[in-house]
Structure 1
Amino acid sequence: MKNSNNGIDILEQQMTNNEDICCSCGNINSFPKAFFDNYKVADVGIIVCTSGRFNFSCEDMEYVVNKGETAFLSRDVYFSITSHSDDCSVVIIMYRVDSIRDILGSTIVGMKFIEMLNPRDCWVMHTGHESELTKYSELLAVGNSDDNVFATNERRLLLLSLTYRLCGIFREISKDGDNASSRKLETYMQLMQLIDQYHTHERGVKFYADRLCLSPKYLTSLVKSVSGSSVQQLVFKAITKKAISLITTTDKSIKEIADYLNFPNASAFGTFFKKQVGMSPINYRQNEGVKKVTIIGQAKGNNS
């Protein structure tokens, strides 16, 4: 296990550098200074209390976290540690989903599920998985150095695994209560899985409603209440995500990509893509190419 003082130093440095992944690398017996002054959570915030207790405020509410409990903090919320016991020790993991966006695949469905399951700013509970979350924090200590590409990739895969674990934890919790909210979320999850499977061919609400044995009107209302988006917007997001992947990771022509995504022609695909992303497919590919060349050049410069 990492030394407590070393752990807080590493965490402080990561936060100062505004890194995508900030973790305590095991147990620490203090909090980062920023946590005492209205700290904003980027995407995912997890604080496991392994001994003692601590108090915090979040969006004008006060919370207490005791030994064996975990505080889950939602996206874009502000919180402040207000007090803690002398024997308090915690495990902290904060990360941005964008850091693993390119390898998430359909896991983003699970991340949306977590968000919608917990519409509150935060919650505190004993999950029964505190030791697992602690272990992830220790394992995420690998890859802190930019000069080891294998360790860095290992760290990203660990974060992907943690994301799956969180999805599993929240799914277990949701099944404990058979209520209307849980049923809505389950239907939403089923829809997202169908979109992931059929978005290149099917874009109409009726297709997905029929698959779920629901009326288009009811499905539209349910999706809006859960995600704030329409069914078509979710389908368009899936198409855009796939298009970006094909543009940036393959040498397929724009016409071939348009055919693969079932657009009538390259022009129609270009119009769609520009509306969603803000630039044409060709310009997007060129822009990404320039970024890659710049990164490679910087890496060579650092190694020289």
Structure 2
Amino acid sequence: MKSSVLNDFSLQTTDFSSLENLPNLAFVNEYFGMVLNIGPYRNNFIRIGHPYRFVEGRILWVTEGNADFELTLEEYHIEKGDIILLAPETIMELKSCSDAFTMMGIIYKENIPVGKNLIIHAGKNDWHETVRLANILWDIARHTPFRRETVSHIVSSIISDIQDINRAELEQIPKKRKTRQEQVFSKFKKLVNEHCCRHRTIPFYADELALTPHYLSSLITKISGQSVMYWINRATLIQAKVLLKNKDILVSEVADRLNFPSQSAFGFFFKRETGMTPSEYQKAD
């Protein structure tokens, strides 16, 4: 069976042709991309209600408006003045946004350690500090020939600065210790994100957390108001949608990659969760 690229938003697979005639707005090559104003072209790349896997890392500045999105089974609200740092291979779904919502964004292919995603409600000085670095990066990136190493160092400096800002903010906020149940719930969601493509049974996650299936079920329901299977199915559905949005991948291949026993079993699951067949979803805009 033919192997397919599974990523919806990558420097290698995304069509940036809509930006080609806008040299004052965007710069994109095989190693790096930067867009100064995503707003007018948002629907060209990211549509509300569709999950996307970002192959490369991202740095985003919200320059106008606000939005709600889901990231690794967590929901976030962002607004003007926020800075977002996303590690490679992150899956994100835009839930809603204001008409004015726009961002400045950097896409980097270089292997720069990030560790974890960050969403920072930055102060005015911190915001302008990172934007000044981004402006320097914009000037350097458009130099001919492309200065890949210099660009990589500046991107790394921006990431380090954002991480330093985050650490400074955390030090000023009194630490609230998570309860034992909250810690288990966080670990459970992390495990589900990592393993839902292969494992979708309660005993598997209970074993990973050294708990009984009954206790895990009651704990997750108590703390979240939803069952263990709700979270497993939700994570699985996100993975399925990401795969299906690649028009070249067969439904049977998606079923196989998600470890369903058959294409019909996958189809039954997908229609139960969405009201659409996988093929209908794949063909929809």
- Bigger CA radius of gyration: 1
TM value normalised by structure 1: 0.44
TM-score in terms of structure 2 length: 0.46
| Greater share of helix | 1
Higher relative CO (CA 8 A, sep ≥ 6), structure 1 or 2? 2
